[in-house]
Amino acid sequence: MSMTHPHPVHPVASPRDPFVDVLRVLGMVLVVVQHWTMPVLLDRGGDLATGNALASVPLVTWVSQVMPLVFFAGGAANYLSWTAKPQSAEKWIGRRVVRLGWPVLPLIAVWLPLPYLLGALGVPAQPLEVASRLVGQLLWFLAVYLLAVVTTPLLARVRAGVLVPAFAAGALAVDVVRFSGFEAAGYLNVVFVWLAVHQIGFLYAQGRLAHLTGRRALWPAVAGFGMTAAMVLAGPYPASMIGMPGMPSNMAPPSAVMLVVFAGQLGLALWARERLNRALPAPVLAWLAPRMMTFYLWHMTALITVGGVAFVGFGVATPEPWSPAWWLLLPIWLGWLSLVLAVLTALLARFEAAPPASPTRARTVAAVGLSAAGLLTLTVTGFTPGTFVPAAGSAALALGLALLLRRRAAAPLPR
């Protein structure tokens, strides 16, 4: 953990690459919009029944499921940051753990007591439990991204061109075991799939994808989506890149098909690189980028607020997906969600400016373990009321961050 990296192994671009920032911002925006357009809310005997509007259009998810691009952009940003100047691994990791975990604290402060308060006010238990779980499930991304951050100093020393094929082969091997009946093995691909994509971000930061411009970038796009079609048609991979009830999932846990979908998406993104950079002028990008974690963490709260008022408060169910009524309601639905998220962002974006950290090796190791345990616990249990587990997970994360923020005792004043 105490390794330092005094010089980049490969020539790197500027520590601030606009294309990387654009991908991170647009990726998160697409994640939010996809989550907001997915819900189908129905009343089944007084209980909330949920469906997915994208179930009938799985091909849309080949483009809309952009988490691979988010991890790619994160990999490029992490490599550029780590190699920008000589620094110890524990300090670099410690500071990034604080930046990652600090914005979660207000989410915990709101959602630990909120289910109990709403229950006391008469909100039905079943939709309340659904909402409490959904908010916590979003934290899977932070848990996996923490893994990517922690491994960056080590993996940056290894040729990404070697690691990516190794990770891809590991993902395929895991899928063979998973789809042979040992489904739990699929969670090993949380490591293989997401670190493979993260490592390709290293290749971009090293300038080794610079030749993929213009029409040349379309070749990986065609190959990636073509291979996706072949793998889906041959099976056992489902056509949708988001989880659907009663079907195997390509996302939870991730399958190897996500790697070829990513190849298609990356080819399109590199082909459209200049257009994407122009789509978000520097002032807009500078305003959005520091608020992306707030958008991500709180967009589900906005969805629950608007959906809860509509469904629980007024008994309004969503129209049949893709029907004329659904299209007519969509702009109104997105407008209300955007308004609520804008208010939440105005109140909570300040927490993206994490306080300064003072990490040491021992504190960083302990903080990583506690933060990972806390995030994974909340991912699995959410903020479901009636059990101490969400509070325990929250305490683990808070303690991990406190270790990194702790200051050395001041020297005694001379007498």
The beta-carbon contacts of 337-343 under 8 Å, at least 24 apart in sequence, are 337/36, 337/299, 337/302, 337/303, 337/306, 340/302, 340/305, 340/306, 341/32, 341/295, 341/298, 341/299, 341/302
- Report if residue 11 sits inside a domain: no
Tens digits of per-residue pLDDT, 137-155? Answer: 999 999 999 999 999 999 9
Name the domain count of the chain: 1
For residue 408, what pLDDT is reported?
53
- Report if residue 12 sits inside a domain: no
- Say yes or no to pLDDT of 318 above 60: yes
For residue 3, what pLDDT is reported?
52
- Report if residue 385 sits inside a domain: yes
Instruction: Show the domain range for 316.
Output: 18-404
The mean pLDDT of 274-288, rounded to a whole number, is 90
Average pLDDT value over all residues in the chain = 90
Tens digits of per-residue pLDDT, 398-408? Answer: 999 999 986 65
Report the phi/psi class of residue 336: left, alpha or beta, with left for phi > 0 and alpha for psi in -120 to 50.
alpha
- Report if residue 263 sits inside a domain: yes
For residue 193, what pLDDT is reported?
97
- Say yes or no to pLDDT of 136 above 60: yes
Report the phi/psi class of residue 85: left, alpha or beta, with left for phi > 0 and alpha for psi in -120 to 50.
beta
For residue 9, what pLDDT is reported?
45
Residue type, 301: T
- Report if residue 63 sits inside a domain: yes
- Report if residue 10 sits inside a domain: no
For residue 85, what pLDDT is reported?
86
User: Which 3 state secondary structure label does DSSP give 4?
Assistant: strand
- Who contacts 4 (Cβ-Cβ below 8 Å, separation ≥6)? 86, 87, 88, 89
Distance, in Å, from the CA atom of 47 to the CA atom of 312, rounded to the nearest integer, reads 10
Tens digits of per-residue pLDDT, 194-228? Answer: 999 999 999 999 999 989 988 999 999 999 999 99
5 falls in which pLDDT band (50, 70, 90)?
low
119 falls in which pLDDT band (50, 70, 90)?
very high
Residue 8: count of CB within 10 angstroms of its CB:
16
Distances (CA, A) of 52 to 63, 293, 410: 17, 24, 56
Distance, in Å, from the CA atom of 235 to the CA atom of 237, rounded to the nearest integer, reads 5
187 falls in which pLDDT band (50, 70, 90)?
very high
- Report if residue 413 sits inside a domain: no
Tens digits of per-residue pLDDT, 46-92? Answer: 677 778 888 889 999 999 999 999 999 999 999 999 999 888 999 99
Distance, in Å, from the CA atom of 1 to the CA atom of 23, rounded to the nearest integer, reads 30
- Report if residue 4 sits inside a domain: no
- Percent of the chain at pLDDT above 90? 71
User: Which 3 state secondary structure label does DSSP give 172?
Assistant: helix
The mean pLDDT of 267-282, rounded to a whole number, is 92
Task: Say how far residue 187 (Cα) sits from the centre of its chain.
Answer: 16
- Percent of the chain at pLDDT above 70? 93
Backbone angles phi, psi at 9, to 5 degrees: -70, -35
- Say yes or no to pLDDT of 16 above 80: no
Distances (CA, A) of 266 to 172, 190, 212, 223, 411: 20, 20, 10, 11, 53
Distance, in Å, from the CA atom of 41 to the CA atom of 155, rounded to the nearest integer, reads 44
The mean pLDDT of 153-168, rounded to a whole number, is 90
259 falls in which pLDDT band (50, 70, 90)?
very high
